[in-house]
Amino acid sequence: MSPQIGKHIKKEPLPHILERAKLRSSLLPDLLSEAKRIVSNVISGWHGCRKRGIGENFWQFRPYTEGEDFSKIDWRRSARDDNTYVKDLEWEAVHTFWVWSKLSPSMDYQSNLSKISKQSRALVLGFAVVELLARSGERIGWPSISKSISARNASEQLAFALAHHLDNHENGSDLINAYWPDITEIKPHSQMVIISDFLDPIDDLIQKFDELFARGVKAYLIHIVDPAEQIFPYAGRTEFYDPVNGERFTAANAKGLKEQYQHQFEARIEMIKAHVKKMGWGYQTHHTDRATSFALVTLHGHLTGNFEMGSKLFQEVN
Amino acid sequence: MISSLAFASPILLIALLALPLLWWMLRLTPPKPVEEIFPPTQILKELDDAEESPASSPWWLILLRILLAATIIIALANPVWNPTKQVLSGEGRILLLIDNSWASARAWDKRIETAQIILEEARSHGRPISIGMTVSNVAIDLTAKSATMAIKQLAAIKPQPIAADIKKLTTAIERDHQTAPSSIIYLSTGLHHQENDELRLALDKYQTGERILYQTTNDNLILIMDAQNGSEALNLSLKRLPEQGFQAGTIIAYDHKGRNLGEVSFEFYEDETELEVKLSLPVELRNDVVRLNVSKSETAGGSYLIDERFQRKRVGLISGEKNDLAQPLLSPLFYISKALSPFSDLINADNANLVEAVPKLIAQKPSMIVMADIGRLQDKTNSELEKWVKNGGTLLRFAGANLAAGEKHHILLPAKLRRGQRQLSGSLTWGEPQKIKKFHSNSPFVDLTLPEDIGIKRQVLAEPDLDLEDKTWVSLEDGTPLVTAKALGRGRVVLFHVTADASWSNLPLSGTFVEMLRKITTSSKAVGSNAAGNIGDVLQPYKMLSAKGKLIAPEAFVKPLASIQDEVPVIDTIDNPPGLYGVSDAFIARNLFASDAEIKPALSSFDAAFNDLRSLIVEASISLKPWLLIFAAILFIFDCLIMIFIRGAFSIRQFSLKTGVVAFLACVLMVNTHPLPVLAQTVNEEQETFTDPSQYAGALKTRFAYVITNDLRLDDISHQGLIGLTDAIAERTALEPGDPIGVNLEGDELSFYPLIYWPIDLKSPVPSPQTMARVDAYMKQGGSVLFDTRDGLSNNGTMGTSPERQKLQQILSGLDVPPLAPVSKSHVLTRTFYLLDSFPGLYKNGQLWVEALPSQNSDSQTLTRVGDGVSAIMITSSDFASAWAVDENGRFMFPTVPPNSDHRIYAFRAGVNIVMYTLTGNYKADQVHIPALLERLDQ
């Protein structure tokens, strides 16, 4: 009997995931400093608005004009010469980021072509994103788990909340079985990172995309794919069963289905990709046999609006 | 016989009824699929032509398994094809006589099979049986036994490689007083035995109705009756039965380990019963032959054993002179020994006293005794030798000064000789050395080619005589004999009319001499056997001939041979079957037949004693059980393969797992091993194929080389310097070197250059270990490297630590540097061309360092020195190149320090000396010792 290719993997304890996520994200500042020569403004604020406003960073001194609040005068600068100066700060907008990762049993899958289950990879990616965003001072939330918070230790807080949820709902919950986040709390103009395997019926998915888009949310989708799902390395008489709904399908010769299946799978990806592009969202497929940092850096590049940098960074990482 | 099928245990066939049940069970349980968790199962379901596998097994698989089960059931029922029919009639005792003499080995299996069929039938009918055989080592017991006992007895009967002992059987039959057997069956070999008539009469006493004679044909029965060692080949006498057609075959000669030494094919034509065959083999191989065998002969009669008496030629050597061992090339026995030793055992007379030596020699029973230049013998010795020759020995004599002065007419001389000798060529004669004219047809040399290059300068002459011509074996161009021979008793005396050394002729130096001696030796006969003397009186069986004609270990009942005569008589007893008796290196052979034995088919009068003549039963019943089981096994393997395929093995999944690992390893190996030949090739190109023409140039002329550094100016100085040195050498010495050349140590072949100049450049990196290994190899193979630190100005001759020296130390750390010493006043370098006491370059005080000379008392070091004592490494600080350097106009490029034209001259002289030193080695070393030599001459 040939050994099975795919197996069901229990969810890893979240502390492990968090630890790895921090490790992954901790690599990124290093990457950024390496990349400084290429793009000098990577770290100087993701959402620096390049104009004066409310913020923490110094932007410019400008002469005081009549009618401005006296308290704005920078006396230290003004004392140097005869003019009176006002210190402008750069205006920084703080976004609310929502990060969500699919938790359903279909994610608890790992084939022997990969070293890690989809779930582990999704959660590591998710918390790595949280960690990165938190470091930049963004407000971060996890739908159904936590409202948006702004804290340096946001990742710990979210992980704690998620772990708590998972512990209390060992037999599954709406969140665990959901294939799409609950978006009722999400306000317009926030951003969202959705990590999922997008294996659910394509029409439902697209409908959900449209709903989210209608709310004015900008989303970034990370499509987690196990290599076995893409390559379909099965042959011979094989009985497939779906871990979510337990449906079974027996193939007399799985190898004969390979081409068709691959075609279908690619078609789905193309469909999602095309739809997402139309909405101006970000999208990437991520295979679990690739490095986490690859997805992370690509995401990073997207969020900073610098796609080339993302790819360059990735080249340097590798 | 009509073929038919029967089952030994048909009751098992009932199990076939269970097959439908099996069908039903197999339909219900299809092969279990591999269960795979697969999240995108939904996608699979949505595929257009996704077909779910049927729930039951395919019909052909079920059919295969039903067939498998049916085959096993039928096989267990033990079907028999062609069951045997009844062969005997009547009831009561059966008398089964089996001829198991030598010829029975040919179709022994069939005989036994026939006997078994008879015994099986007897068992099924409950008939008692008596078995008698023609060869037995125990008394033949004809008491009636049950068939079961008889079958056991039959299993013990083996064919024996000896003739039938019909008399014993006849006696047993005569003593048989039981009730007459109702069936008499005789499994004959079809050959005539001497006492067949007695047997027939004995059988006639039974008033038996059924008398069956199972006959066998004896086609292709070819026997080796005799083998004689001729001068050129083994002469074999073959025999076969009359009235056979054309027959061809091969006889193979084996040594005692069963190795094939040679073979000869033979052809019997119609009606021929005897044939002589020559098996040509080199004498050396012929001596190793132990067994001759007619290929595909299955009887002992087709084998012939040969022993030592047949092979070994012992040759005793007696020389008139005994005291010339100091100059073996002058000893006549030297040539004889060299010529004879390849194919005969040489026995030297161990005593100069011939009266004692000759009897000892004769006691060792040589085939031939060679006497080199013996003129007179004591009467006693004479008569002993004569007796030995008359007994069959061959006495080979060579002439010489002693013989020329000795007795002229003697019984041990083939012809009457003239006194003295004839000198045909020499400083005082006009004659030319005589050539050999012909080998007479009565000589054993007749088929030798006449040598052109042999010249006879001296000989002893025979008196012209009536029978001289008959006695002459070889004659010269003037008709005088060179070799004469005469028969004496059963032996003969041969005389070479020249010496056995090269003083009278160049015959002993030629190959013809060897050939002639070999011919004489092989034609000599063994006188007596030494085997008996060596082995003792009782010969233990060593190896026996099996009934099939192969050599095997002796069986337990074989008894030692009690006594040995010169000719071992053939006694056909089971106690002493044919074989080799003795020990491994001294044995005698006993063969099945005497050379005149008669072989013929059984007489028809004997056959007439039987009323039913049959041939052996060949159509035996065939049990189909094993074949069916094999078929079932094949089906089973096939079924397993199908299952493996159905389960999806040999698929990409397997590749990704185990095979993947293997394939990956294989790929890694390929990736790892593939570039290696390529690398090796590039290295080869660098080292051996010299694609760069400049490297050819290096090989064509002697030229000096310098090491290319990173400093172009320094390279230029080195180049110009070596040009200056080359010019100076061409001008002042016989050596005209080619243009100097810069070498890149990393890539260029170094071995063309006797001397490599290596200026130390601070800017150049220290060469890699690989490069230094090349330099090391260059130095070890005899090259010399002249290192120049060029810091003579800053470092006045002392071994300090200037940057250049540190650099040099770094470079040399990668080399196997011998101990160094400054050039001493007496070093060869100081006088290889000019007599020098210093080696100045651009700087006057530069000290030249070379390998330290080994101290006087260390021999081992001296021995290990390579390159003719030339120091592989020379180190100077004088900056030679700058001193030698000349520009295009022939002007010196640098002034010497201090500026002095004499200084420049000395710099060139140093260079010339260094070059001469590297080229000539220690050639001038002896000049170093001239004072000591002169001192000695004075004395």
pLDDT greater at residue A3 or residue A189: A189
Name the residue of chain B whose CA is nearest to A104's CA.
Answer: B39
Whether B729 and B695 map to the same domain: the answer is yes
Does B652 contact A233 at a Cβ distance shorter than 8 Å?
yes
- For residue B652, give the nearest of A106, A235, A251 by CB distance: A235
Beta strand pairing call for A6-8 and A109-111? antiparallel
Burial B5-34, CB ≥16 within 10 A → b, else e: eebeeeebeeeeeeeeeebeebeeebbebb
Q: Is the CB of residue B871 less than 8 Å from the CB of residue B784?
A: yes
Distance of alpha carbon B758 from its chain centroid, rounded?
Answer: 55
In this predicted structure, the answer to whether residue A192 has a pLDDT above a threshold of 80 is: yes
- Residue B657, chain A, CB below 8 Å: the answer is yes
Does B51 contact A113 at a Cβ distance shorter than 8 Å?
no
Q: Up-side HSE of residue B468: CA atoms within 13 Å toward CB?
A: 14
Question: For residues B54 and B33, what is the distance between their CA atoms, to the nearest angstrom?
Answer: 11
Question: For residues B780 and B775, what is the distance between their CA atoms, to the nearest angstrom?
Answer: 9
Separation in Å, CA B548 to CA B160, B532, B581: 9, 29, 19
Residue B12: inside a domain: no
What CATH number should be reported for the domain holding residue B407?
3.40.50.880
CA distance B642 to chain A (A): 11
Residue B259: inside a domain: yes
Contact map slice: B 24-43 vs A, CB within 8 A: 31, 33-43
Q: Is the CB of residue B912 less than 8 Å from the CB of residue B733?
A: yes
Residue B834: inside a domain: yes
> Which residues in chain A have their CB less than 8 angstroms from residue B50's CB?
249, 251, 257, 260
Whether B335 and B246 map to the same domain: the answer is no
Whether B226 and B131 map to the same domain: the answer is no
CA distance A231 to chain B (A): 11
The structural domains of chain A, with segments of one domain joined by +, span 6-41+94-317, 48-92
Residue B901: inside a domain: yes
- For residue B44, give the nearest of A8, A106, A249 by CB distance: A249
Question: For residues B361 and B385, what is the distance between their CA atoms, to the nearest angstrom?
Answer: 10
Handedness of CA A118, B40, A286, A236 (dihedral sign): positive
- Residue B603, chain A, CB below 8 Å: the answer is no
pLDDT at B860: 39
Which of the listed residues B567, B600, B633 is the one where a domain comes to its end?
A: B600
- For residue A235, give the nearest of B47, B52, B651 by CB distance: B651
Handedness of CA A244, A246, A249, A253 (dihedral sign): positive
Name the residue of chain A whose CA is nearest to B660's CA.
Answer: A113
Got the DSSP string for A18-68?
A: HHHHHHHHHHHHHHHHHHTTT-TTSSS-TTEEEEESSSSSEEEEEE--TTS
Does B649 contact A243 at a Cβ distance shorter than 8 Å?
no
Question: For residues A117 and B418, what is the distance between their CA atoms, to the nearest angstrom?
Answer: 118
Q: What is the mean pLDDT of chain A?
A: 77
Print the domain residue range for B211.
94-218+601-620
- For residue B37, give the nearest of A8, A113, A260 by CB distance: A8
Question: For residues B738 and B722, what is the distance between their CA atoms, to the nearest angstrom?
Answer: 10
CA distance B24 to chain A (A): 21
Does A237 contact B654 at a Cβ distance shorter than 8 Å?
no
Whether B282 and B224 map to the same domain: the answer is yes
Whether B143 and B157 map to the same domain: the answer is yes
- For residue A242, give the nearest of B42, B648, B654 by CB distance: B42
CA distance A243 to chain B (A): 6
Residue B27: inside a domain: no
- Residue located via tokens 């949505």: B46
Question: For residues A88 and A74, what is the distance between their CA atoms, to the nearest angstrom?
Answer: 9
Question: For residues B744 and B762, what is the distance between their CA atoms, to the nearest angstrom?
Answer: 17
pLDDT at A45: 41
CB–CB contacts below 8 A, A to B: 139
User: Which segments in chain B show pLDDT lower than 70?
Assistant: 1-4, 28-31, 48-57, 83-85, 230-231, 284, 308-312, 320-328, 351-352, 426, 525-538, 562-572, 585-586, 618-621, 647-698, 795-800, 854-868, 926-928, 939
> Which residues in chain A have their CB less than 8 angstroms from residue B57's CB?
none
CA distance B822 to chain A (A): 59
> Which residues in chain A have their CB less than 8 angstroms from residue B44's CB?
240, 249, 251, 257, 261
Does A238 contact B33 at a Cβ distance shorter than 8 Å?
yes
Q: Is the CB of residue B474 less than 8 Å from the CB of residue B445?
A: yes
Structural domain total, chain B = 4
Which 3 state secondary structure label does DSSP give B685?
helix
Burial A9-48, CB ≥16 within 10 A → b, else e: bebbebeebbebbbebbebbeebbeebeeebeebbebbbb
- Residue located via tokens 């030995």: B388
Residue B705: inside a domain: yes
> Which residues in chain A have their CB less than 8 angstroms from residue B42's CB?
199, 201, 242, 247
- For residue A2, give the nearest of B45, B49, B648 by CB distance: B648
- Phi, psi values for residue A274, rounded to 5°: -65, -45
Whether B366 and B497 map to the same domain: the answer is yes
Per DSSP, what are the bridge partners of residue B346? B315
The ipTM of this complex is 0.72
pLDDT at A56: 61
What CATH number should be reported for the domain holding residue B850?
3.40.50.12140
Whether B830 and B728 map to the same domain: the answer is yes
Question: For residues B572 and B534, what is the distance between their CA atoms, to the nearest angstrom?
Answer: 25
Residue B855: inside a domain: yes
Does B53 contact A243 at a Cβ distance shorter than 8 Å?
no
- H or E stretch covering B395: strand B394-398
Which 3 state secondary structure label does DSSP give B98?
strand
Name the residue of chain B whose CA is nearest to A9's CA.
Answer: B37
Mean pLDDT of A197-206: 88
Question: For residues B801 and B791, what is the distance between their CA atoms, to the nearest angstrom?
Answer: 10
Name the residue of chain B whose CA is nearest to A198's CA.
Answer: B40
Does A238 contact B34 at a Cβ distance shorter than 8 Å?
yes
Does A6 contact B38 at a Cβ distance shorter than 8 Å?
yes
Whether B504 and B405 map to the same domain: the answer is yes
Beta strand pairing call for B849-851 and B741-743? unpaired
> Which residues in chain A have their CB less than 8 angstroms from residue B56's CB?
none
